[in-house]
Amino acid sequence: MLRSGIDPLYERYLRWQVKHIPLHVAVIQDGNRRFARDQGLDRAVGHRRGADTTEEFLDWACDLGVRHITLYTFSTENFRRDKDELAALFTLFQEKFAAIMTDERVHRNHIRVQMIGDRSLLPDDLLATIDAAEEATLAYDDYYINIALAYGGRNEIVHAARSILDEVRQGAIDPATIGTTTVETHLHRGAPIPPVDLIIRTGNDCRTSNFLPWLANGHESAVYFCAPYWPAFRKIDLLRAMRVYDQRMRLKERAA
């Protein structure tokens, strides 16, 4: 009861502290399975609780003015999980992408949804639903939500290199002109994704796990590690993370 009264006050205090809003926040959503284990729940329930938190997080971030959000939802390493868990996850992903097409919040706020990752690794039915969700939001440009599925940072750079080499062979690119901009325009199938300002990782694991190495590590993004498992993540945790970014920006301003 006491916490329910204090939390809104603390949220307002944190919001007052944050003067610099990151353009692009990337989240490593870790801890669904450990949350389920600690609560005595099935792993599939843990993933669904995590999906509920994702929807809340997107509302919070958009309300705070974050225009680009990238969610590390499923890595290439996650394919090692058992077939029952994979089947439950793919069903959940398909449900959520299908819901995007009729979600009034998406259309009211002009949110573009796009997948990043290796599409060749996903089931055809899931991929068809993803394609439909992307098509339904293709014209929007107020907010961007990037869902990292079947994603690995090094794998993404390899795919970009192959794409550049193909265009070199076709004569579309002069090798002498290849630079950082060339690479960036070939990452993520050309999706318009700016450098990462802030990475958040939940679940008390202090590593970035091969996530957006070009856009995050290459641009020295701020990083915030926190203890709550993803299903237990709160708006207060997001504001604390944004305060870390704000502090970094203030230091840069003083140094300028």
Active site residues: 30, 78
Dihedral, 39, 42, 44, 50 alpha carbons, nearest 10: 0
Burial of 27 (0-12, 13-18, 19+ CB in 10 A): buried
Cα distance between residue 113 and residue 108, in whole Å:
13
Distance from C-alpha of 249 to C-alpha of 20, rounded to nearest angstrom: 7
> In terms of Cα–Cα distance, which of 27, 25, 26, 47 is closest to 35?
47
Other beta carbons within 10 Å of 162:
11
Closest C-alpha to 102, from 133, 58, 124, 144: 133
Cα–Cα distance for residue pair 256/254, rounded to 1 Å:
6
To 5 degrees, how large is the angle CA 130–CA 136–CA 139?
Answer: 120
Residue 19, classified by CB atoms within 10 Å of its CB into exposed (0-12), middle (13-18) or buried (19+), is exposed
